[in-house]
């Protein structure tokens, strides 16, 4: 079964509400400016998996389903996610995402920057509709942490000497904190206790770390058809991720200089990148990275054991399995 089919099956119980969120997103991002509408439509044409929206709804449903509060919360979190992707593509000078041209490639950096800002501005207004100061603080803290994670990533780009702790700190801020916000926010607006809110935040944080580790594994072990970009793309951009860190900690027989050469150049030959990818894939690094992803997945599942058995808990548990077993 494909990843999309698996998610469609898992989200069947909330599909009608996912459609409502999608429809509201299009309505709430509409502008009088044709160019801005065109740029928003371009972002929405990317085949996203709606994972963060589903996490928000399911986290709320685990406690007490209040869709009137979850709708603006879900819209805001998805807007933050898309805004950060648009800005990321500018920083990375990316021309495609999931096989589709990026906004900066289609409309230029200036429009892409302003589109990201536009989405952030829309988010501020929608968050206010939730009418909960805890959610206001959650959004402010989450956006700040994502920015910190992006700065850490920029400062660590092309750095060969990156530790596993450094890597985990980076992805915890840049990727995992948004999934944590989805789960924590869902619990907050649906009346969760302090303990339940903390547990859902931990679930989302651990799930997010596992998710990003698998993304980074797929960049070495996946296929372009699966991930929507060539393998070794992180390496081309000078980004050191977990599989490469593990590979460098093992026997490298001179490959360290080859890796250094690829990282230090912005125009490395494809053959040099492919050689490093093959070297990483040939050793134990992929298995070691998968083991760490499974460790964080187990931590996510453990938090759910504190909740009573329910269909929503079952789906959240299966989402953990899905994240780790994505196509590779």
Q: What is the pLDDT of residues 127-180, one digit of tens each?
A: 999 999 999 999 999 999 999 999 999 999 999 889 999 999 999 999 999 999
Write the CB contacts of 177 (distance below 8 Å, at least 6 apart in sequence): 142, 145, 146, 149, 205, 208
Say what percent of the chain tops pLDDT 90: 64
Question: What is the number of other CB atoms lying within 10 angstroms of the CB of residue 99?
Answer: 12
Please check whether residue 269 is in contact with residue 255, taking contact to mean a CB–CB distance below 8 angstroms. no
The DSSP secondary-structure symbol of 132 reads -
d(CA 286, CA 166): 18
- The pLDDT of residue 85 is 86
- The pLDDT of residue 327 is 57
Question: What is the number of other CB atoms lying within 10 angstroms of the CB of residue 132?
Answer: 16
- The pLDDT of residue 224 is 55
Average pLDDT of adjacent 10-residue blocks, the chain of 328 residues: 84 94 89 80 67 95 95 93 88 75 84 88 91 94 94 92 95 96 98 98 98 95 62 89 94 83 88 93 95 98 95 96 82
The 8 Å CB, 24+ separation contacts for 191-197 are 191/63, 191/64, 191/66, 192/63, 195/306, 196/63, 196/306, 196/307
Please check whether residue 103 is in contact with residue 83, taking contact to mean a CB–CB distance below 8 angstroms. no
Domains in the chain, please, with CATH? 3-325 (1.10.600.10)
d(CA 278, CA 270): 12
Q: What pTM, to 2 d.p., does this model score?
A: 0.92
> How far apart, in Å, are the Cα atoms of 231 and each of 135, 270, 280?
38, 11, 12
Residue of 213, 225, 217, 230 whose CA lies nearest to 179:
213
Please check whether residue 82 is in contact with residue 205, taking contact to mean a CB–CB distance below 8 angstroms. no
């Amino acid at each position: 079964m494909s990843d999309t089919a698996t998610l469609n099956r898992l989200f069947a119980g909330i599909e009608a509400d996912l459609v409502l969120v999608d429809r509201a997103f299009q309505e709430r991002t509409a502008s009088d400016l044709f160019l801005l509408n065109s740029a928003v439509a371009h972002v929405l044409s990317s085949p996203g998996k709606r994972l963060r929206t589903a996490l928000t709804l399911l986290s709320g449903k685990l406690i007490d389903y209040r869709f009137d509060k979850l709708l603006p919360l879900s819209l805001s979190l998805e807007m933050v996610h898309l805004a950060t992707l648009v800005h990321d593509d500018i920083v990375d000078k990316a021309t495609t995402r999931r096989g589709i041209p990026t906004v900066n490639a289609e409309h230029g950096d200036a429009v892409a920057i302003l589109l990201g800002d536009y989405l952030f501005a829309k988010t501020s207004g929608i968050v206010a509709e939730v009418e909960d100061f805890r959610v206001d603080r959650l959004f402010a803290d989450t956006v700040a942490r994502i920015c910190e994670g992006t700065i850490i990533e920029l400062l660590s780009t092309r750095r060969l000497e990156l530790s596993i702790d450094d890597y985990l700190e980076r992805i915890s801020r840049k990727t995992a904190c948004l999934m944590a916000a989805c789960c924590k926010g869902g619990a907050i607006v649906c009346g969760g206790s302090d303990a339940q809110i903390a547990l859902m935040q931990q679930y989302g944080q651990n799930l997010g770390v596992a998710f990003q580790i698998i993304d980074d594994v797929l960049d070495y072990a996946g296929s372009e058809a699966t991930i929507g970009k060539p393998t070794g793309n992180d390496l081309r951009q000078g980004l050191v991720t977990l599989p490469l860190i593990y590979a460098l900690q093992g026997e490298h027989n001179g490959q360290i200089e080859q890796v250094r050469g690829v990282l230090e150049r912005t125009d490395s030959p494809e053959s040099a990148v492919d050689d490093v990818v093959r070297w990483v894939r040939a050793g134990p690094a992929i298995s070691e990275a998968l083991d760490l992803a499974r460790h964080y997945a187990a931590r996510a599942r453990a938090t759910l054991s504190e909740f009573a058995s329910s269909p929503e808990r079952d789906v959240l548990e299966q989402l953990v399995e899905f994240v780790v077993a994505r196509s590779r």
